[in-house]
């Protein structure tokens, strides 16, 4: 947790989705248990995730960061040998949550932890594509 941690919970996520993306208002919303501190992540149905920056920031720079992240994700997808989440939408602040947030596709699999692949979060078999292949592709994009 951070001292400037923003509060976002399932009820807030449901309200934001219902207001901004009514096509997903009937989808279940579940928090993702994670040790990560960069985003609070919620599953939205079986195919989407909503990511909420947990630290206070300027709204316009936060939106610019989300847009840059989406562009980088699209670029990475062009070169990656493994699936990467695809950007779907950027949500606006509301219902007590002060920042823009993002919606992207959900990829089933293992939740990464500092100790390795970690908890199983889906049904994709491990080892279907070696991590080395991914990092070689990532290096090609960065270079």
Query: How large is the C-alpha radius of gyration of the chain?
Result: 16
Is the pLDDT higher at 77 or at 128?
A: 77
Mean per-residue pLDDT, 41-46: 96
- 3 state SS of 87: strand
> CB–CB of 97/57 below 8 Å?
no
- The predicted model scores a pTM of 0.79
Q: For the purposes of burial, counting CB atoms within 10 Å of the CB of 138, is it exposed (0-12), middle (13-18) or buried (19 or more)?
A: middle
59-79 helix and 131-142 helix, angle to the nearest 10 degrees: 110
Domain residue spans of the chain: 10-142
DSSP code, position 117: S
Question: Which one-letter DSSP state was computed for residue 96?
Answer: T
Within 10 angstroms of residue 29's Cβ, the number of other Cβ atoms is 22
Asked if CATH classification 3.40.50.300 holds for the domain at 10-142, the reply, yes or no, is no
Distances (CA, A) of 72 to 50, 57, 58, 100, 116: 17, 21, 21, 18, 24
Is residue 42 scored above 90 in pLDDT? yes
Average model confidence (pLDDT) across the chain = 83
Residue-wise pLDDT tens digits, 91-124: 999 999 999 999 999 988 776 555 655 444 444 4
């Amino acid at each position: 947790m951070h001292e400037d941690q923003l509060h976002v919970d399932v009820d807030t996520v449901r309200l934001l989705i219902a207001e901004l993306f009514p096509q997903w208002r009937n989808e279940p919303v579940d928090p993702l248990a994670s040790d990560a501190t960069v985003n609070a992540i919620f599953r939205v149905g079986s195919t989407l995730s909503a990511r909420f920056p947990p630290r206070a920031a300027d709204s316009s720079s936060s939106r610019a960061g989300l847009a840059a992240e989406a562009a980088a994700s699209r670029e990475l997808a062009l070169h990656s040998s493994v699936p990467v989440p695809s950007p779907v939408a950027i949500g606006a602040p509301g219902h007590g949550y002060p920042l823009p947030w993002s919606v992207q596709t959900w990829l089933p699999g293992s939740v990464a932890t500092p100790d390795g692949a970690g908890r199983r979060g889906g049904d994709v078999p491990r080892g279907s594509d070696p991590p080395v292949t991914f990092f070689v592709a990532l290096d090609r994009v960065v270079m």
